[in-house]
Amino acid sequence: MHGLPDQPVLILGGFLITDEAYAVMASRIQALSGGQVEIVPMSRLDWLRTSAASGWTRCLDRVDAMARRLQAGSSTGRITLIGHSSGGVMLRPYLSELPFLGRRYGGSRWCNRLITLGSPHQAQRATPLRAQVDQDCPGCPWADQVDAIAVAGVLDLSSATASWVSRRSADRSYRQINGPGEWRGDGLVPVESALLRDARPITVADTAHGGLFGSSWYGSADRVDQWWTAACR
């Protein structure tokens, strides 16, 4: 299942990041794959609401409606899901047949591929809802139906790519997620957290979590080329 046909792609972004930030990513994936690419529309208010369970279900209901519509027009009968940061964590229970927050989505019926980008999957210190994902849906329980690919960025904080935000806050952020120790990551999420258990791991060098954290991030055209090509192998 490693080859990526020209099936539709649906992107769910990260916390407080609105859909226009993913325009370059969507355009590049469409050029590389030939498939239709759409972005789940999320305002900053929508993201702030995800601090509560009702905000999560509101977001995943939106994902579900778009996934079903894209799947109906897919030549393969399936779609690819991409989740950046928190979006990647939220898509895990969406794929599951098990109930989550009062919903049973079973998104693996429509989606046969999940790519997560810098998502804080495993964390010693997680928000209650993220912790519930790992409790109810650890690793990739739908791996027999979905090809899961986890992408982690490795940002050299002394490089020209890293922003002053990364240089100032990365170490503290890594410890907040992973606990005490020396960690490496994308300026916000450590590698060990981003590489989801049971998923195919991909690491991309000199890649920041987002535009705030560095000049080249998962959504930059050249970085998209790297992780998308690696996922195709």
For residues 116 and 45, the answer to whether their CB atoms sit within 8 Å is no
Domains of the chain: 9-152+192-232 (3.40.50.1820)
Please state the pTM of the whole predicted model.
Answer: 0.97
Element (H, E) at 207: none
Three-state secondary structure call for residue 220 = coil
Chain centre to alpha carbon of residue 88: 3
**Residue in 81, 196, 201, 100 with CA at minimum distance from that of residue 146:** 81
Buried b (16+ CB within 10 A) or exposed e, 58-97: ebbeebbebbeebbeebeeebbbbbbbbbbbbbbbbbbbe
Rounded CA separation 191/152 (Å): 5
Q: How many other CB atoms sit within 10 Å of the CB of residue 39?
A: 20
Structure tokens at 116: 């997560």
pLDDT per residue of the chain (233 residues) written in tens, 0 to 9 = 466 678 999 999 999 999 999 999 999 999 999 999 999 999 999 999 999 999 999 999 999 999 999 999 999 999 999 999 999 999 999 999 999 999 999 999 999 999 999 999 998 888 899 999 989 889 999 999 999 999 999 999 999 999 999 999 999 999 999 999 999 999 999 999 999 999 999 999 999 999 999 999 999 999 999 999 999 88
What order do you get walking across the sheet with 200-205 strand by strand? Answer: 37-39, 9-12, 79-84, 111-117, 147-154, 200-205
